Structure 1
Amino acid sequence: MTSRVIFISAAISEALREARFDDGCPVDAAGVRLARAAAGAVPVAERLWVSPTVRCRETAGALGLESALDVAELAGLDVGHWRGATLAEVSAKEPEAVARWLADPGSAPHEGESVRAFCDRVAGWLDTASHLSGRTVAVVEPEVVRALVVRVLGAPEAAFWRVDVPPLTATEFSGRAGRWNVRAGRPLGEPA
């Protein structure tokens, strides 16, 4: 049985433009407009899921996926007390903590989730999805896609910071028996 999971990265928001750790900020007007324009490009799927953030839910709605179900395991990286701050603000206040966080995937100086724990969480979810036949579409935060690419390719966790995931792109994982292939970063609206 082959399983296909297409992850669509959420549309742009003010927080993303400002390199701000997610603070519940909604999709901005440009993001809504682009998502609505791409709505017809979302493949038909047996299951529609969404990361439980405002931005992902609004993106799913603009894409016409109002019936998508929240999946807690697909939530973005928990950055603890850094939530709502920009990377520049945190770097100015806690430079050693930021340096440690960026260098050590097991570190969580923000008292949230380490990159390693985050990669484990979303990879564990993908393992359960491997038992589902057909196609699943999930609208998620970009870091969810980054973590999955790292794990599926067997890259070191430090590679998490080296994977760019633009808004409103589709990354497809297809496979069976725990072996996944990746088709990365196709902008919605381009032929599959």
Structure 2
Amino acid sequence: MMTHRAALEVLAQVRSEQVVVTTMGSVAIWPQLSDSPLDFHYLPSSMGQAVPLGLGLCFARPGRGVIVLTGDGGLLMNLGCLVTAAQFPVPLYIVLIDNGLYEVTGGQAVANASRTDFAALARAAGIGRVYACGSREEWAAVAPEAVTGSGPVFVHLKVQGEVGKPTPSAPRPMADQIARLRSALGV
């Protein structure tokens, strides 16, 4: 099984000019791989809100792709966002980092983690392009296709969980991140 870091390393290799929205555990790793003004680390009370934020960015900047890195716990808190996102033909790429844990809040197990088929949930919500990967090799093989083209797209990445990780901090204050992103988007 791949690590969270390995999953993001693959993404960093194929990402082009898309906005990347990170939450929770990805906030600790992504800044080590990318420091683009198009990176937005959405951490304050953000569990479950990354996909709606990404969808809003797609509406605000039509044609600009948005990659959302969300966790299984966060997605479970707002499963309805998949149904909403599926209604709109926007370049939204939802990358689920599934570690089976609420990792940054103490490592508690996510309810039904071993039985929840997130790829099937995305398909049932109406998302047409769905990928499920359990290894770095599988992910590397589909990543260039998965984060380009028409959307929305859902990518389910099964990664190893790590208990005892501290809650990450964003690399910049929120106001600075907003200003950088607005400037990069020409707002």
TM-score interval for Structure 1 and Structure 2 normalised by the shorter chain? 0.3 to 0.5
Q: Which has the larger radius of gyration?
A: 1
What is the TM-score with the length of structure 1 in the denominator? 0.35
